[in-house]
Protein backbone atom coordinates (compact mmCIF):
# COMPACT_ATOMS: atom_id res chain seq x y z
CA UNK A 1 0.00 0.00 0.00
CA UNK A 2 1.30 3.45 -0.93
CA UNK A 3 1.95 5.88 1.92
CA UNK A 4 1.81 9.64 1.94
CA UNK A 5 2.59 12.17 4.66
CA UNK A 6 0.35 15.19 4.34
CA UNK A 7 1.89 18.21 6.08
CA UNK A 8 -0.44 21.12 6.55
CA UNK A 9 -1.16 24.41 8.31
CA UNK A 10 -4.76 25.16 9.29
CA UNK A 11 -4.55 28.77 8.14
CA UNK A 12 -3.39 27.96 4.61
CA UNK A 13 -5.92 28.78 1.93
CA UNK A 14 -4.89 26.31 -0.77
CA UNK A 15 -4.75 23.59 1.86
CA UNK A 16 -8.55 23.66 1.92
CA UNK A 17 -8.64 22.25 -1.61
CA UNK A 18 -6.44 19.37 -0.52
CA UNK A 19 -8.33 18.69 2.70
CA UNK A 20 -11.58 18.59 0.76
CA UNK A 21 -10.18 16.17 -1.83
CA UNK A 22 -7.74 14.01 0.11
CA UNK A 23 -10.02 11.31 1.46
CA UNK A 24 -11.61 10.48 -1.90
CA UNK A 25 -8.40 10.69 -3.89
CA UNK A 26 -6.28 8.67 -1.48
CA UNK A 27 -9.01 6.02 -1.20
CA UNK A 28 -9.27 5.74 -4.96
CA UNK A 29 -5.55 5.03 -5.20
CA UNK A 30 -5.42 2.88 -2.06
CA UNK A 31 -2.99 5.21 -0.34
CA UNK A 32 -2.57 5.46 3.40
CA UNK A 33 -2.31 9.09 4.45
CA UNK A 34 -0.75 10.38 7.64
CA UNK A 35 -2.24 13.78 8.46
CA UNK A 36 0.59 15.88 9.89
CA UNK A 37 -0.44 19.30 11.20
CA UNK A 38 2.38 21.75 11.83
CA UNK A 39 2.79 25.50 12.36
CA UNK A 40 3.80 27.35 9.23
CA UNK A 41 4.29 30.71 10.99
CA UNK A 42 7.72 29.97 12.48
CA UNK A 43 8.91 28.65 9.11
CA UNK A 44 7.57 31.74 7.35
CA UNK A 45 9.29 33.99 9.89
CA UNK A 46 12.58 32.23 9.15
CA UNK A 47 12.02 32.95 5.46
CA UNK A 48 11.55 36.64 6.29
CA UNK A 49 7.84 36.39 5.53
CA UNK A 50 6.39 37.16 8.94
CA UNK A 51 3.08 38.09 7.35
CA UNK A 52 2.91 34.88 5.37
CA UNK A 53 3.19 34.16 1.68
CA UNK A 54 0.42 36.42 0.36
CA UNK A 55 -0.37 39.46 2.53
CA UNK A 56 2.79 41.39 1.64
CA UNK A 57 2.07 40.93 -2.09
CA UNK A 58 -1.22 42.59 -3.07
CA UNK A 59 -1.28 41.37 -6.68
CA UNK A 60 -0.45 37.84 -5.65
CA UNK A 61 -3.05 38.01 -2.88
CA UNK A 62 -5.76 39.14 -5.31
CA UNK A 63 -4.74 36.40 -7.71
CA UNK A 64 -4.85 33.79 -4.95
CA UNK A 65 -8.52 34.43 -4.20
CA UNK A 66 -9.50 34.18 -7.83
CA UNK A 67 -7.36 31.12 -8.44
CA UNK A 68 -8.81 29.37 -5.37
CA UNK A 69 -12.33 30.04 -6.53
CA UNK A 70 -11.61 28.77 -10.06
CA UNK A 71 -9.88 25.64 -8.83
CA UNK A 72 -12.56 24.85 -6.26
CA UNK A 73 -15.10 25.03 -9.11
CA UNK A 74 -12.92 22.87 -11.36
CA UNK A 75 -12.59 20.23 -8.63
CA UNK A 76 -16.24 20.42 -7.59
CA UNK A 77 -15.20 21.55 -4.10
CA UNK A 78 -17.77 23.76 -2.30
CA UNK A 79 -16.35 27.24 -1.81
CA UNK A 80 -17.41 30.38 -0.05
CA UNK A 81 -14.76 33.00 0.50
CA UNK A 82 -14.20 33.51 4.23
CA UNK A 83 -14.75 37.01 5.63
CA UNK A 84 -11.42 37.12 7.40
CA UNK A 85 -7.88 36.17 6.48
CA UNK A 86 -5.62 34.96 7.90
CA UNK A 87 -7.08 33.16 10.92
CA UNK A 88 -5.30 32.44 14.18
CA UNK A 89 -4.50 28.74 14.07
CA UNK A 90 -2.42 27.87 17.13
CA UNK A 91 -5.21 26.28 19.18
CA UNK A 92 -6.61 24.44 16.15
CA UNK A 93 -3.17 23.07 15.34
CA UNK A 94 -2.79 21.86 18.91
CA UNK A 95 -6.10 20.01 18.72
CA UNK A 96 -5.17 18.66 15.30
CA UNK A 97 -1.90 17.40 16.76
CA UNK A 98 -3.70 15.62 19.56
CA UNK A 99 -6.14 14.22 17.02
CA UNK A 100 -3.27 12.96 14.88
CA UNK A 101 -1.79 11.17 17.87
CA UNK A 102 -5.17 9.59 18.60
CA UNK A 103 -6.23 8.77 15.03
CA UNK A 104 -9.06 11.27 14.41
CA UNK A 105 -7.17 14.08 12.66
CA UNK A 106 -8.67 13.59 9.19
CA UNK A 107 -12.29 13.88 10.33
CA UNK A 108 -11.54 16.79 12.63
CA UNK A 109 -9.59 18.67 9.99
CA UNK A 110 -12.18 18.11 7.27
CA UNK A 111 -14.84 19.57 9.55
CA UNK A 112 -12.68 22.54 10.62
CA UNK A 113 -11.97 23.44 7.01
CA UNK A 114 -15.54 22.83 5.85
CA UNK A 115 -16.88 25.19 8.52
CA UNK A 116 -14.36 27.84 7.53
CA UNK A 117 -14.70 27.50 3.76
CA UNK A 118 -18.36 26.71 3.27
CA UNK A 119 -20.13 28.30 6.26
CA UNK A 120 -17.74 31.17 7.07
CA UNK A 121 -17.22 29.90 10.62
CA UNK A 122 -13.64 31.02 11.09
CA UNK A 123 -10.91 28.53 11.91
CA UNK A 124 -9.62 29.09 15.43
CA UNK A 125 -12.85 30.48 16.82
CA UNK A 126 -14.79 28.71 19.56
CA UNK A 127 -17.70 28.16 17.16
CA UNK A 128 -15.47 26.43 14.66
CA UNK A 129 -13.69 24.21 17.17
CA UNK A 130 -16.84 23.28 19.09
CA UNK A 131 -18.61 22.53 15.83
CA UNK A 132 -15.83 20.31 14.58
CA UNK A 133 -15.46 18.46 17.88
CA UNK A 134 -19.21 18.01 18.26
CA UNK A 135 -19.41 16.48 14.77
CA UNK A 136 -16.99 13.80 15.97
CA UNK A 137 -18.77 13.28 19.31
CA UNK A 138 -15.80 14.60 21.26
CA UNK A 139 -16.08 16.37 24.61
CA UNK A 140 -14.68 19.85 23.91
CA UNK A 141 -13.57 20.56 27.49
CA UNK A 142 -11.66 17.30 27.68
CA UNK A 143 -10.06 17.75 24.26
CA UNK A 144 -9.09 21.36 24.95
CA UNK A 145 -7.43 20.42 28.21
CA UNK A 146 -5.42 17.63 26.65
CA UNK A 147 -4.59 19.68 23.54
CA UNK A 148 -3.03 22.33 25.78
CA UNK A 149 -1.01 19.95 27.91
CA UNK A 150 2.74 20.44 27.92
CA UNK A 151 3.16 17.05 26.26
CA UNK A 152 0.88 17.92 23.36
CA UNK A 153 2.36 21.40 22.87
CA UNK A 154 5.72 19.71 22.56
CA UNK A 155 4.31 17.29 19.96
CA UNK A 156 3.33 20.23 17.78
CA UNK A 157 6.75 21.84 18.19
CA UNK A 158 8.37 18.55 17.27
CA UNK A 159 6.15 18.19 14.21
CA UNK A 160 7.05 21.71 13.09
CA UNK A 161 10.74 20.93 13.54
CA UNK A 162 10.29 17.71 11.59
CA UNK A 163 8.56 19.57 8.75
CA UNK A 164 11.39 22.09 8.67
CA UNK A 165 14.00 19.33 8.60
CA UNK A 166 12.19 17.77 5.63
CA UNK A 167 12.54 21.06 3.74
CA UNK A 168 8.85 21.96 4.04
CA UNK A 169 8.38 25.69 3.42
CA UNK A 170 4.66 25.95 2.68
CA UNK A 171 1.32 24.23 3.00
CA UNK A 172 0.08 21.84 1.80
CA UNK A 173 3.17 19.70 1.40
CA UNK A 174 3.42 15.99 0.76
CA UNK A 175 6.18 13.49 1.30
CA UNK A 176 5.98 10.23 -0.61
CA UNK A 177 8.85 7.75 -0.84
CA UNK A 178 11.26 10.45 0.31
CA UNK A 179 10.10 13.00 -2.28
CA UNK A 180 8.74 16.39 -1.23
CA UNK A 181 5.86 17.99 -3.11
CA UNK A 182 4.45 21.43 -2.39
CA UNK A 183 1.03 22.79 -3.21
CA UNK A 184 -2.47 21.48 -3.73
CA UNK A 185 -1.66 21.47 -7.43
CA UNK A 186 0.93 18.77 -6.78
CA UNK A 187 -1.48 16.41 -4.97
CA UNK A 188 -2.03 14.20 -8.02
CA UNK A 189 1.71 13.98 -8.63
CA UNK A 190 2.42 13.15 -4.98
CA UNK A 191 -0.21 10.39 -4.96
CA UNK A 192 1.26 8.94 -8.15
CA UNK A 193 4.69 9.01 -6.51
CA UNK A 194 3.30 7.24 -3.44
CA UNK A 195 2.16 4.28 -5.53
CA UNK A 196 5.40 4.30 -7.50
CA UNK A 197 3.69 5.30 -10.76
Is the previous residue joined to 144 through a cis bond, with omega within 30 degrees of 0?
no
Residue 122 found at the interface with a second copy (CB under 8 A): no
- Choice from 27, 30, 55, 62 touching a second copy (CB under 8 A): 62
Rounded to the nearest whole angstrom, what is the least distance from the CB of residue 185 to a second copy in the complex? Answer: 5
Residue 66 found at the interface with a second copy (CB under 8 A): yes
Number of residues that bind a second copy (CB under 8 A): 23
Residue 57 found at the interface with a second copy (CB under 8 A): yes
Nearest to 77 by CA among 129, 128, 23, 151: 23
- Choice from 1, 24, 48, 196 touching a second copy (CB under 8 A): 48
Site for a second copy in 162-191 (CB under 8 A): 167-170, 179-182, 185-186, 189
Q: Which is nearer to a second copy, 128 or 160 (CB)?
A: 160
- 65, 71 contact by CB (below 8 A): no
Q: Which is nearer to a second copy, 65 or 142 (CB)?
A: 65
**Residues facing 33 on adjacent strands:** 4
b/e burial code for range 96-125 (CB count within 10 A of at least 16 → b) = bbbbbeeebbbbbbbbbbbbbbbeebbbbb
Q: Which is nearer to a second copy, 71 or 146 (CB)?
A: 71
Rounded to the nearest whole angstrom, what is the least distance from the CB of residue 45 to a second copy in the complex? Answer: 12
Q: How is 34-67 classified by DSSP, letter by letter?
A: EEEE--HHHHHHHTT-TTTTTTT-HHHHHHHHHH
Site for a second copy in 70-89 (CB under 8 A): 70, 74
120 dihedral zone (left: phi>0; alpha: psi -120 to 50; beta): left
Tell me the backbone φ, ψ of residue 51, rounded to 5 degrees.
-95, 5
How far apart are the C-alpha atoms of 105 and 94, rounded to whole Å? 11
Rounded to the nearest whole angstrom, what is the least distance from the CB of residue 164 to a second copy in the complex? Answer: 8
Contacting residues toward a second copy, per CB under 8 A: 47-48, 56-57, 59-60, 62-63, 66-67, 70, 74, 167-170, 179-182, 185-186, 189
Amino acid sequence: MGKLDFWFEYGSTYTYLTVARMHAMASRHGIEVRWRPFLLAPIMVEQGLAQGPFLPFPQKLRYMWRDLERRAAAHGVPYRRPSRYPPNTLLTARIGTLAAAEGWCAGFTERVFALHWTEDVEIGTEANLQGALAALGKDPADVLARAQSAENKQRLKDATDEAKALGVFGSPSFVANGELFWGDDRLEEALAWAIGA
